[in-house]
Structures are given as structure tokens and as C-alpha cells.
Amino acid sequence: MTNEDPSYTLAKDIAKVYIDIANSNNRIKETISTMKENEIRKEIQMYEQQKFNLDEKLEQEKEKLDEENEQRKKEIDGRIKALNHMLKRPYPTD
């Protein structure tokens, strides 16, 4: 087989097609891999955003509970003072 031989040219063309197919398969694998990586990154970002949102909500709920607890403490303190005041007053005797 020589460079001029049609069977050589055909074999060369067939080899080129196989090489192109192999390269194409590798590019497809790389593309799929990149797409999967991008999907994973997007999912990570989504979960990080959800975590951030939950942290914010938790902080707001803590602040709300702190305010409610503080108000309740004030109410209890007021009731204790009123009861102590009642203990200090002499009871009416009839």
C-alpha cells in the first residue's frame, strides 16, 4: 500500500473517522461532566441559600421569643410586687 493507493486513502479516512469519534466521545464526556459539576454547584448554592434563610428566620424567632420572655418577666415581677405589697398591708379587722 502506498500513499497513492486508494485503499490506503480509504484506510486513512476510516482511521480519521475513528479518531474523530473517539475525540467526540471524550468531548461529550467532558461536557456531561461539566454539566454535572454545574448542576452540583447550583444545588450547593441552593442549599446554602436555604441554610442562610433558615438562619435568618431562626434569628428573628429568637428575637421574638426574647422579647416575649422579657415582657413575661416584667409581668411576673409586677405581680410579685403587687403580692408583696398586699402582704405588707394590714388586713382590715371587722
Range of the domain at 57: 1-68
pLDDT digits (tens, 9 = 90+) for 73-91: 999 999 999 999 888 877 6
Number of domains in the chain: 1
Q: Does residue 80 belong to any structural domain of this protein? A: no
Nearest one of 13, 14, 35 to 27, comparing CA atoms: 35
Task: Report the half-sphere exposure of 2 (CA within 13 A, side-chain side).
Answer: 2
Q: Does residue 88 belong to any structural domain of this protein? A: no
Q: What is the DSSP letter of 23?
A: H
The Cβ of residue 53 has, within 10 Å, a number of other Cβ atoms equal to: 10
Q: Does residue 13 belong to any structural domain of this protein? A: yes
3-class secondary structure, 2: coil
pLDDT by position in tens, the chain (length 94) = 566 778 888 888 888 988 888 888 888 889 999 999 999 999 999 999 999 999 999 999 999 999 999 999 999 999 999 999 888 877 666 5
Look-up of cell digits 475513528: 18
Q: What is the pLDDT of residue 94?
A: 56
- pTM > 0.85: no
